[in-house]
Amino acid sequence: MSKLEDYKPEYSELNNLLDLLLTSLSLLNHQVEQLKLRISQLENLITGRPELDEFPARGELSNLLASLKAWVESHGFSGEDREVSELQARLQRLLDISGSCTQIPQRSYKILVIEDDPLTSRLISHYLKDLKTEIIAFNEAEAALDYLKRELPDLVLLDLILPGMDGFQLLSQIKKNPEWQKIPVIMMSSVSGEKEIIKALEMGASDYLTKPFSPRIVSAKVRHYLNMT
């Protein structure tokens, strides 16, 4: 019989899809179509990869997918529904089991996220979960500056529009400080105009991400600037 250790890449893919499905449930009112896509992807994965027959909770996963499909068809997608919380709890259990089957090297990178929308910060954490980085999040520039005086992160993800000091002002502070100026800074904003992007890059930003984010692009850019590729 094949050993579980022989199939770490497949378990990593399973873990990623479970994580994305859990995120989709958290954002149910906005991502109904994405939820259906994740369910379909997981069904195709577990039926199309014989090696995943050894996944310890395969039966439980199949039952959960059936429950999710039935729920999607019969509910009005109300985020207040108690079933949402129950399904999230079941998904989290499966995610924990899957994660225990996938040995991913521990990372020591620290990523500083300055974003005033808690939901966006949570999404970023989900997208980067497999990288095993430490996410330090603040919702305003002043608090992030206080942190920078104590710790040096490996990467900064900086929202453009913030309460008080905005992203451009904080970027200027970072690039003026000799101890901070070499830290890669990726600007983030729903503002996608050429003027803002050019200004950010001219001020020293390493890159510019526009919202809504693509999970793969976020992960790829973070890997690149942390030299993880």
Structural domain of 52: 4-101
Q: Does 23 share its domain with 40?
A: yes
Structural domain total, the chain: 2
Which residue, of 53, 76, 101, is where some domain finishes? 101
- My answer on whether 22 and 122 are in the same domain is no
Angle, CA of 217, 19 and 62, to the nearest 5°? 130
Q: Across 27-41, 86-100, 202-216, which has the greatest mean pLDDT?
A: 202-216
4 band by pLDDT with thresholds 50, 70 and 90 = very low
Domain shared by 90 and 195, yes or no:
no
CB count, 10 Å around CB of 7? 20
> Do 69 and 161 belong to one domain?
no
What confidence score (pLDDT) does residue 75 get?
A: 62
Eight-class DSSP state of 156: E
**Statement to judge: residues 119 and 218 lie in one domain:** yes
The more confident residue out of 174 and 37 is: 174
| Sign of the Cα pseudo-torsion (151, 156, 157, 159, in order) | positive
54 and 142 co-located in one domain = no
Task: Examine the domain organization and report whether 168 and 188 are in the same domain.
Answer: yes
Residues 130 and 90 in one domain: no
CA dist 26 to 34, 83, 115, 123, 228, Å? 12, 12, 18, 10, 29
Shared domain check, 24 and 92: yes
* The predicted structure's pLDDT at residue 204: 96
Which residues pair with residue 79 across a beta bridge? none
Give the contacts of 63 (CB within 8 A, at least 6 positions apart).
none
Q: 110-141, pLDDT tens digit by residue? A: 999 999 998 899 899 988 888 878 999 999 99
**Considering the chain, what is the average pLDDT of its residues?**
83
Answer yes or no: are the C-beta atoms of 195 and 202 closer than 8 Å.
no
